[in-house]
């Protein structure tokens, strides 16, 4: 763990106990931050994104330990370790805390040796998970280091089919005045999500290649709509929606299985799990799986990328919008199983994005 990870948040409504716990932990080499209840602790976490280790009482006024843990996990997308202090009658809540992922419980009054052991175990778990995250990050970097532009991707993938798909994607990119890397990243995100879902290697490869062509139908959208600087009117938006049908018509006549799936993706990647999407208004599992994969990938990359009508958002903001929603995007737009996998492994999306920055075509 780094020096900043030697910080620990102590949450207890009794000042004497806070002071005693803090003294023990400071002697163990930690920088201690104090909070008097769960609400105070949430504020401390909002002001210091480096705090991941927490010792908290379970019974507190205003916001108890169990409520605090749930709020912290829901609000902050960081890797926590919680140590809860329990007393008589707390066992039912302790079981609920276990379901939230809490691994360490100490009975009050707290024994110093038990506290030091619990903190040591929690630090070790954080270290192990950090190492695993770094291992995954390095694997993703290795997978896409040579993929910083379309030509290097073609050399890496090899074969006429891959080159054809990459070249076809350029058609839409020259018209859309966005980056070619956007299309390729969408394919890579979709492949990673398919892998997380346990889908076979053939499907992973297909969705990676087919996903590149998801917006090819934009070649048929008039410039005055496609290149408009401000928000679209209702009539203009209906014209823009036609890119899904145009893309389907362009790709559907092929006997190539990858292009056949690309046609399905082009037509349905704007469908919403709850309905209300386009072009067919499908719901739930009626939406083809390949389109559900690309839907999350496309929204994530669109949020990360600067557009004529919006700035680029950083990774944490993009994840929050997809998982929690905002004025335009809500979680019930997406396949809940795939959304759960995204929420759990979103760092892989961040790695892919950072490994392939936008460049002019």
| Cis before 279? omega within 30 | yes
Active-site residue, 218 included: yes
Q: In what order do the strands lie in the sheet with 53-57?
A: 31-35, 7-11, 53-57, 81-86, 104-107
Name the helix (H) or strand (E) containing 106.
Answer: strand 104-107
Strands 53-57 and 7-11: parallel
The secondary structure of 326-356 as a DSSP string is -SS--GGGS-HHHHHHHHHHHHHHHHHHHHS
Q: Which one of the listed residues 44, 91, 96, 218 is annotated catalytic?
A: 218
C-alpha span between 223 and 265 (Å, rounded): 23
Peptide bond into 109 cis (omega under 30): yes
- Is-contact 332 283, C-beta < 8 A? no
Contact 271, 291 (CB under 8 A): yes
Catalytic residue IDs = 218
């Amino acid at each position: 763990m780094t020096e900043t990870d030697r910080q620990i948040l102590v949450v207890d409504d009794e000042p004497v106990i806070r002071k005693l716990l803090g003294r023990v932990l400071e002697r163990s080499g930690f920088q201690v931050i104090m909070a008097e209840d769960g609400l105070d602790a949430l504020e401390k976490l909002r002001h210091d994104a480096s705090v991941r280790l927490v010792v908290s009482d379970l019974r507190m006024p205003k916001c108890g330990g169990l409520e605090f843990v749930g709020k912290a996990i829901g609000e902050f997308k960081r890797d926590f370790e919680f140590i809860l202090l329990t007393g008589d009658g707390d066992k039912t809540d302790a079981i609920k805390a276990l379901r939230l992922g809490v691994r360490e419980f100490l009975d009050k009054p707290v024994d110093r040796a038990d506290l030091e052991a619990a903190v040591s175990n929690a630090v070790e778990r954080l270290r192990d998970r950090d190492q695993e995250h770094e291992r995954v990050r390095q694997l993703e970097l290795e997978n896409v280091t040579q993929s910083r532009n379309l030509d290097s991707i073609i050399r890496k993938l090899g074969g006429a089919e891959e080159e054809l798909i990459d070249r076809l994607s350029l058609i839409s990119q020259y018209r859309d005045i966005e980056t070619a890397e956007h299309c390729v990243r969408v394919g890579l995100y979709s492949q990673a999500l398919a892998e997380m879902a346990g889908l076979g290697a053939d499907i992973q490869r297909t969705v990676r290649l087919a996903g590149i062509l998801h917006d090819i139908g934009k070649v048929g959208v008039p410039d005055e709509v496609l290149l408009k600087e401000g928000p679209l009117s209702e009539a203009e938006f209906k014209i823009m929606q036609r890119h899904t049908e145009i893309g389907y018509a362009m790709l559907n006549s092929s006997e190539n299985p990858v292009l056949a799936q690309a046609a399905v993706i082009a037509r349905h990647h704007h469908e919403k799990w709850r309905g209300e999407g386009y072009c067919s208004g499908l719901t739930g599992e009626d939406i083809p799986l390949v389109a559900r994969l690309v839907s999350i990938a496309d929204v994530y990359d669109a949020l990360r990328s600067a557009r004529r009508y919006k700035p680029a958002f950083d990774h944490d903001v993009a994840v929050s919008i997809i998982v929690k929603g905002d004025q335009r995007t809500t979680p019930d737009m997406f396949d809940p199983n795939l959304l759960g996998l995204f929420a759990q492994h979103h760092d892989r999306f961040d790695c892919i994005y950072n490994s392939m920055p936008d460049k002019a075509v």
